[in-house]
Amino acid sequence: MIKNWHPMYTLALVIGLLALYPMFFGQFMNFGVATLLLAGFALSWDILGGWTGQNSLGHAAFVGVGAYTVTLLAERGVHPVLGALIGAALSSLLAWGWGAATFRLRGSYFTLSTIAVAEIIRLIILNESWLTGGAEGKFMPDLPKIFGFDLFDRKVEYYMVLLFVLLVLLFTHWMRYSRMGFYFKAVREDEDGAMALGVNPNKAKQLAFVCSAAFTGLGGAMYAIFLQAFEPETFLLIAFSIQVALLAIIGGRGTIYGPLVGAFLIAVPSEIFRDQLKEANLLVYGILIVVIVIYLPKGILGSLEYWAYRKNHPLEKGKV
C-alpha cells in the first residue's frame, strides 16, 4: 500500500480516467454520457439509500422534476444553468415535504411509500398536460452556449455530467469524515442506539433525502438536455427508480465509489447485449441482484473493501 495515499488522490485518479473517455471512445459518446448520468443518479441515490439505509424506489420523481423544470423554464427563456439549479432546488423541496410525512415509516413501509408518491407524481405529470405536455412529452428548446460550448454537443455534455459526478463524489467524500456522515451511518445501523447518542434519526434521514434529491434533480436537468426530447415514460416509471437503486446496491452501497462501479460494470454488458435484450435490459439487473444478495451482500466494491479489511484484521480463533 502506498503510504500517505490521500483519498483525494483516488478521486483525482477516477475523475482523470473518466475524463479520458471521449478521447479513446469518441464513437461511443451516447453510451458514455448515458452511463455516466446513470452513475451520477446511483451515487445520488446512495446518499439516502446507502448511508442512512432508507431504500427509496421513487427517485425517478426527482429526475422528472429536474428534467421538466429545466425544460419548461428554458421554453420561457431561462438560462439552463439557472433552470438546472432551480430544478435541483424544487427536487429538494419535494423531498423535504415528502420526507417529513413519511420518515416515521421504517424499512419496507418507507419504501412502499416512495413507490406510491413517485407514482402519484408520474400520474400528475402525465395528466396535467397543460403544464407538462402530458403523454406527448417535451422538446428541449435551443439553448444558449456556455463559455462558447454547445450544450448539445455530446462531448460537452459528457464533461458537464462528469462535473455532476465530481460534485456528488466531493460531497460523499466530505460526508465520510463529517459529523453528518457519521450520524447517517448510525441511523442506518441502529436508530434507537443512535438516539441514545444524541442523533435525531428523522432529521438525519430528512437531510439525506434532501441532499440526495437535490443532486438527482440536477442530474435530471442534464438528462433532459442530453435527450432533447422526452416523455413521462422515459424516466418516470418505477423501472427507472429500480434501476438506479439496484446499480448502487450491486456496486456497493455506503461505499463512495460503489454506485459508480455498479453503473459501469452493468452498463457495459447491457450495452453489448442490447440487440438480444432490446428493452429487457433489466433482466441483467434482476439476475445480478439475486446473485449479489446471496453471494456478495455488500455489493461488489463493498465486498472488496471488506476483504481488504479482513486482510488487515484477520479473524482470531473465536472472538477475543
Partner 1 sequence: MSLLVAERIGVQFGGVKAVHDVSLSLERGQILGLIGPNGAGKTTLFNALTGFVPKASGKVLLENMDITNTPPFELPKLGVARTFQVERPFEDLTVLENVMISSFLKHSQPKAAKHHATDVLEKVGLLDRANQKCSELNLARRRRLEIGKALALEPKVLFLDEVIAGLNPPAQSEMIGFVKQLSETGIGIVMVEHIMRVIMTLSDRVICMAFGEKIAEGTPAEISNNPVVIDAYLGGGEDDD
Partner 2 sequence: MEIFTQGTQALIDGLLTGGIYAMIGAGLSLIFGVMRLINFGHGDFVILGMYSAFFANKVIGFDPYLSLVLVLPLAYGLGFAMHRLILSKLLGASEQTTKLATLGLGLVASNLMLLQFGAQPQTVYADYATNAFVVPIGGLEFRISQARLIAVVITAILIVGLNWMLYRTELGRAIRATAQNRMGAELQGVDTKKIYAIVFGLGMGLAVAAGVLLIPLLSATPTLGTTFTNKAFIVTILGGLGSLPGAIGGGLLLGVVESVGSSVLPLIPALNNHFGSNYRDAYGLIIFLLVLLLRPNGLFGRTVKRV
Residues that bind partner 1 (CB under 8 A): 177-179, 182-183, 185-186, 189-190, 192-201, 309, 313, 315, 319-320
d(CA 255, CA 264): 15
Place of cell 419535494: 94
Among 1, 279, 312, 318, binds partner 2 (CB under 8 A): 279
Please work out, in degrees rounded to the nearest 5, the angle formed at the alpha carbon of residue 70 by the alpha carbons of 164 and 244. Answer: 50
HSE of 144, CA atoms in CB hemisphere, 13 A: 12
HSE of 54, CA atoms in CB hemisphere, 13 A: 33
d(CA 113, CA 117): 6
By C-beta, is 51 or 240 nearer to partner 1? 51
Alpha carbon 204 to its chain centroid, in Å, reads 19
Q: Give 53's DSSP letter.
A: -
Nearest distance from C-beta of residue 118 to partner 1, angstroms: 29
d(CA 116, CA 257): 29
Q: Rg of the chain's alpha carbons, rounded to an integer? A: 20
The binder of 238, among partner 1, partner 2, none, by C-beta within 5 to 8 A per type, is partner 2
Q: Is the dihedral of CA 285, 290, 293, 299 positive or negative?
A: negative
The binder of 9, among partner 1, partner 2, none, by C-beta within 5 to 8 A per type, is none
**What binding mask, one character per residue, do residues 288-317 give for partner 2 by CB under 8 A, x or -?**
xxx--xx--x--------------------
Among 149, 286, 307, 310, binds partner 2 (CB under 8 A): 286
Q: SS3 helix, strand, coil % of the chain, rounded to 5?
A: 75, 0, 25
By C-beta, is 93 or 237 nearer to partner 2? 237
Residue 269 makes contact with partner 2 by CB under 8 A = no
Piece in contact with partner 2 (CB under 8 A), picked from 124-132, 138-146, 224-232, 303-311 = 124-132
Residue 119 makes contact with partner 2 by CB under 8 A = yes
Among 116, 163, 229, 272, binds partner 2 (CB under 8 A): 116
Residue 52 makes contact with partner 2 by CB under 8 A = no
The binder of 120, among partner 1, partner 2, none, by C-beta within 5 to 8 A per type, is partner 2
By C-beta, is 158 or 285 nearer to partner 2? 285
Q: How far is CA 123 from CA 95, 116, 120, 128, 234, in A?
A: 18, 11, 5, 8, 14
The binder of 185, among partner 1, partner 2, none, by C-beta within 5 to 8 A per type, is partner 1
Q: Which residues bind partner 2 (CB under 8 A)?
A: 53, 55, 101-102, 105, 107-109, 111-113, 115-117, 119-120, 123-124, 126-127, 237-239, 242, 246, 249, 277-283, 285-290, 293-294, 297
